[in-house]
Structure 1
Amino acid sequence: MNGREWEGERKAGSDEHLLWERLLGERITDIQPFRRNWLVTTSHGCWVAKQSRRPAFLRWWAGVDREMRNRGFKGMPRWLTDGQKWQLSAWIQGRSAQYGDRNDLTGSAGVLGKFHRLGRRLHTPTLSPGRHLIRRVEERFHSFVQLIRTTPPSSQVRQVLQPVEGELLHCGQQVLDALARYPWDYWCGREQRMQSLVHRDLASHNWVWDFTGKGWLIDFDTAGYDLQVGDLWQLLSRAMWEQDWDVSILHRTMAAYERERPLPLVERELLRILLAFPNEIYREALGLSRGDPDYALARTLPYLQSLVAKVSRWRPWTRFRPWLV
């Protein structure tokens, strides 16, 4: 949706304008559509105004944001909310991270490790435990199985998947079988009770590198309390496809993370298992098949094709390669 279409869809009214000024404590000089949100300009800088339908979440994150800053985490933009509808995040002038860039990848891993280390045993009460990491993995696999059962073989998605379809199903089931041998429900529940902070959406566009070389983690709409190694797995499972599963890069990325937060042995074992799960392919295929607007056909189908072409590089990890031992 371009700026003109968005402005036609909805205009920022005077009520929002006044509310934002009260939150910012200064006069707004300009408001422009910005990536389905609003870019709000004042004499001291720019802010992204984003609407939320979850006031309880806004109030929860306000507490978490305050705690993390008090603990010394400086890797997220300044953030304000009215606790009801709006959140304002300071706009960082820079560029999105590129997981194909080794420096971006290791830099992001280091910031994530510090985010996790400082985000343990927080005091802000949880909203609700919600679905933990292992449940989300199981649901992703069963959704993919349903896609294969219900989508015609002639569809574009199935045609792309066809050379590796059976392997993808086998590997997913193999991971679920391996997970069933451990008491992960207990471990995830423990981390939720300990209020261990996770981000849960570590796409490369949720990292911004400013022009001084500082990395910023943004967009916490999916944050919650859960097993933190799930974030590291998400980062690695996205990035390693771009890095052709080069084990030396994986070691560098892990080292950058563990300089901030060493992984317990139980989490290293879980990460070893999860890297055999084709999550990146599952997610892209499901997004396309559902017609999700964030998975545009012209962009996502070629990406899915590139992932399928790299399955041979990923295949050794489906044997639970013991690189973490």
Structure 2
Amino acid sequence: MGQVADGAAPANAPASELDAGDSSSEPQSRGFLGRIFEVFSGTEAEPSQEAAPAAAMPAPAPLPGMGNLRKMRVGDVALPKVEIVAVPVSISREELVEVFRAQGYSRMPVFKDTLDTPLGLVHLKDLALEYGFGAAPGRFSVRKILRPLLYVPPSMPIGVLLQKMQVQRIHMALVIDEYGGVDGLVTLEDLIEQVIGEIEDEHDEAEGGFWKEEKPGQWIVQARAPLKEFEAEIGVVLADAEEEGEIDSMGGLVFMQIGRVPARGEVIIGENGVEYEIVDADPRRIKRLRVRLPGVAPAE
């Protein structure tokens, strides 16, 4: 869909060239994606994967690999609608800056009235270039810096969407349900992670370490942090004897305690009073969490 006019957003609108400026930020993408596209011609062998153990728990997320491009659908990787951070077209410049600062994203959908009537996306770079760096103050309008979004069905293979994003140079898509409403959101990074694994960028916590102490009794922890090592660090046993035999990581500990993947922002309180606040997660896995010992007040 190009820049959508006010009103309901059709699901099959053509893309625009407005997002062309992003190509310079990914100079290696064509070579990398060219190899990925070989999957569809059958020239790339699929990596073997171990059979998932039969258990009562939900099946684990597929291992990263080229085969996921054909096996997985957009609906498998999309961020659910309730977790989408979007802004109304009537937002002020100060409010928009604050949302970008609080959420840490570089792109966000823009809507009129509700998220089911999307207009496009706003990019932090465009906001900075148009209204930052000492630019003369003037009347602000998000419409002036809107970029187009892609609109795709949940049944589309992720490899097909990856090709569309590469060709049309649009790195965010909204998932549209059968009634034309918004059902989820997918970014280019979400798709690439299904092939090469989790991507850590310059904003991710503690390069070279699994946790960082924010203040006494409170840590930011990578979900893949080894459970026993973190327990030794804080001097507190977090898992009981039965759990310790089945899990190895902090993310696995939280998943085991509630039996599902928690949403971003959710707080889980263990039986021992330890709080686990989900800092970053997607529909398939936990990425980072904040661990707070009993008696430690949360930050304002």
TM-score bracket for the superposition, by shorter chain length? under 0.3
Q: From the two aligned structures, give the one with the greater strand fraction.
A: 2
In the superposition, the TM-score normalised over structure 1's length comes to 0.20
